[in-house]
Amino acid sequence: MITNIEVFYTDCGRANEMTSKIVGGAVVNAHKYPWMVTVHADNGLCGGALITRQYVLTAAHCVTNKRNIGVGIAVHDRNRPGQIIPASVVKIHPEYRETEHYDIALIKLQGAVIISERVRTLCLPHNLNLEQAGKHAIAAGWGMTQPGNPNSDSKFLKEVNLKILNAERIITAQGVNLTGACMATGSLFLEVVSDSHVNREGRGGLMGDSGSPLFTRYADGKYHVIGVTATTLKRPRPCMGVSNYARVSVHTQWIMNNIMDSVPCEMANDEMAPVATNHL
């Protein structure tokens, strides 16, 4: 059990599921996942997840050695973010500078966002059973819809249903050595199970931008983040659709230590975050 998390998250992980969804890499209803954000750095675009009113979880490579970092809130159409909030502090996992296996970072916003139907936080994992092999998870983002085609980024937020795989299964199926990735980083390896056509294309977790969250629903009906989109494995059998995610539970203590200066979600919406006048 992971402790000292609930204090921040009395209203986290609630999706806006008013209508039925279409899985298999389809556009989701606007603001269905209100924790999804876009991360703008220089001319690059990544995804991320709002985990407190003032902190965003993303991938380290999205913000390392980058300037002009801002976060798009309440985004469905990535070309029309509801507002862009400048970053005040970027916290990169200290081990990332030594190895790419710790591809995780936190962005502190210049002000606390107002929680609403369109803006809500994603819960941190408090139960390791959330990431067991065989369980299902959701990857969402604005990333490539066609493998290897950088011009196929989606304008609208999309989602895909994935299945957590056992590392030994990947080693057996593909003949790749995952010892370092699995043991050192605790990465999650998944394949698409919701749509066989998508699986044959080898899309796997490519649906999400770098930094976008991998999340799953717990028994309480709330969604919890279990992974951060990192890199896609180079594989001899692209039909497997395998992707690599940084395991959030491994880094939960580091995350908690670095967000304690944030404003808890249950506090009054007393300060609106500044809105950038120009897109970054």
Q: How confident is the model at residue 160 (pLDDT cuts 50, 70, 90)?
A: confident
* Higher per-residue confidence, 161 vs 72: 72
Q: Which tops the pLDDT comparison, 188 or 35?
A: 35
Q: How much is the mean pLDDT over the chain?
A: 72
Neighbours of 192 (CB within 10 A): 29
Q: Are 49 and 122 in contact (CB under 8 A)?
A: yes
Mean pLDDT in residue range 209-215: 88
CA pair distance 89, 277, nearest whole angstrom: 20
pLDDT tens across 19-30, in order? Answer: 444 334 566 788
Domains in the chain (CATH in brackets) are 34-121+253-258 (2.40.10.10), 135-249 (2.40.10.10)
* Residue matched to tokens 């209803």: 29
Check residue 129 and give its pLDDT. Answer: 66
The reported pLDDT for the residue numbered 184 is: 22
- Percent pLDDT > 70 in the chain is 58
Task: Specify whether the CB–CB gap between 142 and 78 falls below 8 A.
Answer: yes
**Could you tell me if 158 and 192 are in contact, meaning their C-beta atoms sit under 8 angstroms apart?**
no
Query: Which range is least confidently modeled, 176-180, 193-197, 254-258, 268-272?
Result: 193-197
Kindly indicate the confidence band of residue 78, based on its pLDDT and cuts at 50, 70 and 90.
Answer: confident
Q: In this predicted structure, what is the pLDDT of residue 256?
A: 94
Residue 102's CB: how many other CB atoms inside 10 A? 21
Q: In the predicted model, is pLDDT for residue 85 greater than 90?
A: yes
| pLDDT value of residue 273 | 46
Mean pLDDT of all residues in 254-271: 68
Q: Higher pLDDT residue, 179 or 177?
A: 177
Contacts for 266 with CB less than 8 Å, ≥ 6 apart: 10, 11
Per-residue pLDDT for 181 more than 70? no
Token representation of residue 257: 């230590």
pLDDT at 27: 66
CA distance 172 to 183: 16
Output the pTM of the full model. 0.78
Residue type for position 195: D
Q: 33: buried, middle or exposed (CB in 10 Å: 19+, 13-18, 0-12)? A: buried
> Which residue has better confidence, 44 or 242?
44
Cα radius of gyration rounded to whole Å, the chain? 17
Question: What pLDDT does 151 receive?
Answer: 66
Least confident piece of the model among 18-22, 79-83, 258-262: 18-22
Q: Would you place residue 139 in the very low, low, confident or very high pLDDT band (cuts 50, 70, 90)?
A: confident
> What would the two tokens of residue 207 be?
């649906």
| Cα 159 from Cα 24, distance rounded (Å) | 7
Q: What are phi and psi of 122, to 5 degrees?
A: -100, 135
The span from the CA of 85 to the CA of 27, in Å, is 25
Contact by Cβ (8 Å): 273, 37: no
Catalytic center residues: 61, 103, 210
Least confident residue range of 61-65, 180-184, 249-253 = 180-184
Q: Give the integer Cα–Cα distance in Å for 106 and 99.
A: 17
What pLDDT, on a 0 to 100 scale, did the predictor assign at position 275?
40
